[in-house]
Amino acid sequence: MQLVEKHVINKHHKFWKECDYLALQSKHLYNAANYVQRQYFFETQKYYNSIDIYNQTKNLEAYRYLPTKVSKQIVRKVSEAWKGWLAALKDWSKHPEKYLGQPRMPGYKPKERGRNVVIYPIDAISKPALTQGIVKLSQANIQLPTQAKNINQVRIVPKLNHYVIEVVYTVDDPVKSKGKYVAGVDLGLNNLMAITSNHSGIKPLLVNGRPLKSINQFFNKRVAKAQSIEAWRQVKELNSKRDRRIDNYLHAVSRRVIDWCQLNDIGQVIIGNNSGWKQDINIGKKNNQEFTKIPHAKLIGLLTYKAQLAGIEVVLTEESYTSKASALDGDQLPVFNNKTDFKPVFSGQRVQRGLYKTSTGRTINADTNGSINIARKVIPNFMDGIEGLPFIPVVLGLWTKITNVDV
């Protein structure tokens, strides 16, 4: 299993200038290799594989400004980009409904401000330095302490107003969790996550999403003000700071959720996730904007890799009708199909914001109802043994000690 150790390099860091120089040379080489590839494609309608593109670019001036092993990685990325584009184009011609539009031909990095990732394979990293816990890059002055073992590569990744040096390393696959219970996860806005397990005696969990809304609102005002006076550097810095704060919050809540799962003997997590849901959502203009600015895909990725480290299985499932169907009534959960006129009928309904009433008049938290239905999408008998529990959720505190949240 691969993990990444990250080192942030801002403009005041001693390695900033060198990172910027390397990323600039990487951009020059990427554009030069891409030009060679484009001309070949226009003539033949084919692309160079990784070996051919190396032979076509190894004598370019841009190739010699970086270590050979690093330059190879960059031109290989050009070949991979073209291979991926042609495969996507072929698939798009057969299944255009899977795409938001026709896949675009790989383009050039911006001439002046453009920067490109710099990839150092293990052969371009000093082995004597690694034995001392230091990452030292070939033909560069960059040296960073690391706790990683079994390093595969190091990447210098350009961001909005900083660089991130990523140390990619491999760890042994974790032992599969012995947890015998399952949890369903419903992603949302005010409640970032609603989590319900079939572990008898454990209350459903809610994770607060309002801090993310506050972060977005705080920075949106400042970004709008900076844009009004065309302070573009300030806009870039504000967006970068917003991204880091959101990342920090998502890391914190995902860590807490996995800790909760381990404590409550949960071995499988089922997460609702519909492809294209951000594009097709219609919950009002304001809510649409707030929802699409919450990076749920990043949250799913964080939950997945942290669960895998704990040996917990993660399953993604489509979530059509999970908010409308009554979990306690055992309503059927069909898959949405916009090509038919079929409209399923459900036993219960939402009676007010955040609450769902079943056919028997019982009222439960609407997001909890959704999380149960998401689990039922994969495990139809998920509810067996927990019907009699009061479904009153508790809110997960980020800084309080996690204990068994029982009834």
**pTM (2 d.p.):** 0.84
What's the Cα-to-Cα distance from 32 to each of 26, 36, 41, 54, 307, rounded to whole Å? 10, 6, 14, 12, 41
Collapsed DSSP state (helix, strand, coil) of residue 190 = coil
Please, what is the average pLDDT of the chain?
89
Per cent of the chain over pLDDT 70 is 91
CA distance 157 to 19: 9
pLDDT higher than 70, residue 341: no
Q: Are strands 266-272 and 363-365 parallel, antiparallel or unpaired?
A: unpaired
Tokens at residue 135, please?
A: 């990452």
Condensed to tens digits (0 to 9), the pLDDT of residues 12-57 reads 999 999 999 999 999 999 999 999 999 999 999 999 999 999 999 9
For the residues 281-289, what does the mean pLDDT come to? 49
Looking at the chain, the domain(s) classified CATH 3.30.420.140 span: 181-395
pLDDT higher than 50, residue 407: no
pLDDT higher than 60, residue 405: no
Condensed to tens digits (0 to 9), the pLDDT of residues 179-227 reads 999 999 999 989 999 999 998 888 899 999 999 989 999 999 999 998 8
Condensed to tens digits (0 to 9), the pLDDT of residues 66-96 reads 999 999 999 999 999 999 999 999 999 999 9
pLDDT class of 231 with cuts at 50, 70, 90: confident
Region 181-395: CATH code: 3.30.420.140
What single-letter amino acid sits at 18? Answer: E
